[in-house]
Amino acid sequence: MELRVLRYFLAVAQEKNITHAAEKLLVSQPTLSKQLSDLEAELGTKLFIRGHKEITLTSEGDYLRSRAEEIIDLTDKTFTNIQTDQVISGELTLGAGESIGMKRIINVISGITQDYPDVKIHLVSGNADEMESMLNRGTLDFAVLMGERPLENYHYLKIPEMDQWGILMLKDNLLAQKETINPTDLIDKPLLLSAQALQNHRFQDWWGNLGPQMNIIGTFTLVYNAELLVEKNGSYMITFNHLINNSPTQNLIFRPLAPNLFEPITVIWKKNTVQSKVNQLFIQRLKASLDN
pLDDT digits (tens, 9 = 90+) for 105-153: 999 999 999 999 989 999 999 888 899 999 999 899 999 999 999 999 9
Does 172 share its domain with 222?
yes
Does 116 share its domain with 157?
yes
| pLDDT for position 239 | 95
What's the CA gap between 251 and 209, in Å, rounded? 32
CB atoms inside a 10 Å sphere around CB 82: 12
Does 126 share its domain with 104?
yes
| pLDDT for position 247 | 47
| pLDDT for position 81 | 60
Q: Which of 81, 104, 125 is the last residue of a domain?
A: 81
Q: How confident is the model at residue 185 (pLDDT cuts 50, 70, 90)?
A: very high
What's the CA gap between 152 and 138, in Å, rounded? 18
pLDDT above 60: residue 49 = yes
The pLDDT of 165-191, averaged and rounded, is: 96
Does 170 share its domain with 155?
no
Domain span at 243: 162-262
Instruction: Give the C-alpha distances (Å, rounded to integers) separating 109 from 5, 103, 121, 208.
Output: 35, 10, 8, 41
Does 169 share its domain with 154?
no
pLDDT above 90: residue 224 = no
Q: For position 21, which CATH number holds?
A: 1.10.10.10
pLDDT digits (tens, 9 = 90+) for 2-42: 888 888 888 888 888 888 888 888 888 888 888 888 888 88
Does 99 share its domain with 7?
no
Does 153 share its domain with 270?
yes
Q: Which of 46, 81, 116 is the last residue of a domain?
A: 81
Q: For position 234, which CATH number holds?
A: 3.40.190.290
* Cβ proximity of 89 and 118 under 8 Å: yes
Q: How high does pLDDT run on average in the chain?
A: 89
**∠ at Cα 288 (285, 290), nearest 5°?**
115
Q: Which of 42-56, 75-89, 105-119, 240-254 has the highest mean pLDDT?
A: 105-119
pLDDT above 70: residue 86 = no
pLDDT above 90: residue 173 = yes
Does 270 share its domain with 141?
yes
Return the sign of the alpha-carbon dihedral for residues 112, 114, 119, 120: positive
Does 192 share its domain with 250?
yes
Q: How confident is the model at residue 85 (pLDDT cuts 50, 70, 90)?
A: very low
Does 274 share its domain with 141?
yes
Does 114 share its domain with 184?
no
